[in-house]
Amino acid sequence: MRYATFNVLADAYTGYGNYSYVKPELMQPGARLEHISRLINNLGADVVGLQEADRGLVEVFESDENWQYFWTPKRRNKPDGCLTLIKHGIEVTDHESYMYDDDSGHVFSVTNIGEIAIANTHIKWAPAEEPHHIGVAQTQQLLETIGDQKTAVILADCNDRPEGRVQTMVKQAGFTNMSGEMPTAIVNSELVALDLLAIRGLKGTLITTDYNLRSIPNEICASDHIPVVADISPVDTSII
């Protein structure tokens, strides 16, 4: 099965970055929805975890017959959330939404296909040197919810770099991040590896893509992140 994770850049957050190089009409509210949905449908993926999905994007996939959709909106009046898409015909055995035990409003979900737990989340950013790092606490809660032994996939914008505290916790919990140190986003004109497609108890192959991080958002990839895509299969075929 093919999995993907993708932070789609909610319209409400376009004011936080420098997008002066982007066509102004592309950054108008709702203007990127068609481009994003087309990209997602062209990935060939069976499971997609989207972060910063707002209600407008959810409505696009509500009417898209290709997908089963599971939306976990953020709390605290935030306009976005985590949207998990699973191709029709794949049996979903369980789905649960969770709110982190802090006042951030950030959320995560765990969706099960057979015995594989698929977590989707957007970890809140904090300075790396912060003693009480909110992202570390959120990651701990996420990992505890998945469980120590569970065969699992994490689809996430973890707001942390390779060898950072969050990504190190995920690695220590037995996960392998398929994208490694590959840059997946552009932040303040810097290329950074913020996104996780991490697997445990599974084997996978990263799918090479050719998105130009220096030019996004654009009509091809209408976000400041690129999708991370991998083909994932069980080590033991009896688990699905």
Q: Return the pLDDT at 239.
A: 54
What would the DSSP string read from start to end of 85-115? EEETTSPP-EEEEEE-SSSS--EEEEEEETT
Long-range contacts of 188-192 (CB under 8 A, 24+ apart): 188/17, 188/18, 189/18, 192/161
Query: Is residue 28 in some structural domain?
Result: yes
Mean pLDDT, residues 143-149 = 92
Q: How does the average pLDDT of the chain come out, rounded?
A: 95
142, 170 Cβ separation under 8 angstroms: no
The total domain count for the chain is 1
Mean pLDDT, residues 72-91 = 97
Query: Is residue 195 in some structural domain?
Result: yes
Q: Return the pLDDT at 165.
A: 94
Q: Return the pLDDT at 39.
A: 98
Query: Is residue 240 in some structural domain?
Result: no
Local confidence band at 240 (pLDDT 50, 70, 90 cut-offs):
low
Structural domain including 162 reads: 2-235
Angle, CA 105 vertex, CA 99 and CA 109 arms, to 5°: 35
Query: Is residue 222 in some structural domain?
Result: yes
Share of the chain above pLDDT 70, in %: 98
Instruction: Return the structure tokens found at 154.
Output: 């994490």
Query: Is residue 34 in some structural domain?
Result: yes
Residue 198 reports pLDDT greater than 70: yes
Residue 107 reports pLDDT greater than 90: yes
Q: Return the pLDDT at 206.
A: 97
Mean pLDDT, residues 62-69 = 94
Q: Return the pLDDT at 188.
A: 80
Query: Is residue 24 in some structural domain?
Result: yes
Mean pLDDT, residues 212-226 = 96
Q: Give the domain CATH number at 98.
A: 3.60.10.10
